[in-house]
Amino acid sequence: MTEVVAALDCGSNSTRLLTAIRHGETRRRETRITRLSQGVDASRRLTSEAMDRTFAVLDEYRVMMEVDGVVRGLLVATSAVRDAVNRDDFLAGARAHSGVEARLLTGEEEAWFSYSGAMSDLAEVGGPTAIVDVGGGSTEIAAVIGGVMSSCSMQLGCVRVAERALGRGLVTAASADAARAMIDEQLDVAFAEQPSFADLIGRTRLVGLAGTVTTLAQLDAGEAQYGRDVVHHRVLSRLTVQLWRDRLGAETPAQRLSHPGMVVGREDVLTAGLYVLDAVMGRLGVDSLVTSENDILDGVAASL
């Protein structure tokens, strides 16, 4: 009998769903911008408004799962929920609205699921492969080095960097310096905690995941509508990252929406995500990355 499983990801900026035939093809992928992390960095609490937005999407996803005949599912929560003192209230609500088990991931678990999902359809190369997952509240780096998984989860993400340092509108020299300092501090901690990351410098294939990377790929392609074939495994140079970072930084959020490929709900935080992405590429000494639409959802689905 063919079984359909579901993976749901309640991230800091978006809430997503994947339904798939077990060990087989994808049935559907859905993304909604819900900004669950709104205000969490300052208050350490999930707001009732942000939770209600997310629960409304989970109600919608529950109907989709019923239509697809899902027999088993798992919802995972990440950075915003990890940081919140009212995380248990959110997880209870997520279970009730989605109808599946809800689990709070550690940063290391998040990195592992993301790595395993991204690697599921990538061919092996001669050297190591590292993934960078730029989320709303955190950024994960993970790689298998010497047969051992090494990973870190940094307090960086497009929403967090925008709220703490860069701002959401026009980027100034001062705000850019503040963002770079914040990002470099977190990278210093990550590389100190994972000395094996030094083995990746200048010799790794870097794979980029999540909304910052996907939106950049759409902007690079000039595609107004999302197309998996256009963005999945697209190669993006570091120069492309920098060009779009600086171009968007010189515009207001409303002006950014004029670019084909900009996703509504990311126009105020994408620039911050590109600062993170550029810094990671610089630290690892890579000139390009491969985008992947297979990510944490695929890793979670495979675990079912």
pLDDT for the residue numbered 22:
67
Taking only Cα atoms into account, the Rg of the chain, rounded to an integer number of angstroms, comes to 18
- Most distant CA pair in the chain: distance in Å? 60
Both tokens of residue 209?
């995941």
Domains in the chain with CATH codes: 4-104 (3.30.420.40), 118-295 (3.30.420.150)
Q: Which amino acid is at 132?
A: V
pLDDT for the residue numbered 40:
82
Helices (H), 222-269: 228-231, 238-249, 253-256
Residues 242, 243, 249: CA angle, nearest 5 degrees: 85
Q: Could you list the pLDDT tens digit for every one of the 304 residues in the chain?
A: 578 999 999 988 889 999 998 666 888 999 999 989 888 878 889 999 999 999 999 999 999 999 999 999 999 998 889 889 999 999 999 999 999 999 999 888 888 898 888 988 888 888 899 999 998 888 999 998 888 889 988 989 998 999 999 999 999 999 999 999 999 999 999 999 999 999 999 999 999 998 899 999 999 999 888 888 889 999 999 999 999 999 999 999 999 999 999 999 899 999 999 999 999 999 999 999 999 988 899 899 988 8
Both tokens of residue 91?
């997880």
pLDDT for the residue numbered 148:
86
Both tokens of residue 8?
């749901």
pLDDT for the residue numbered 123:
82
In this structure, is the dihedral angle defined by the CA atoms of residues 31, 214, 304 and 52, taken in order, positive or negative? negative
pLDDT for the residue numbered 223:
87
Whole-angstrom Cα distance, residue 253 to residue 266?
A: 9
pLDDT for the residue numbered 90:
95
195 pairs with which residues across the strands? none
Of 178, 181, 206, 217, nearest to 280 by C-alpha is 206
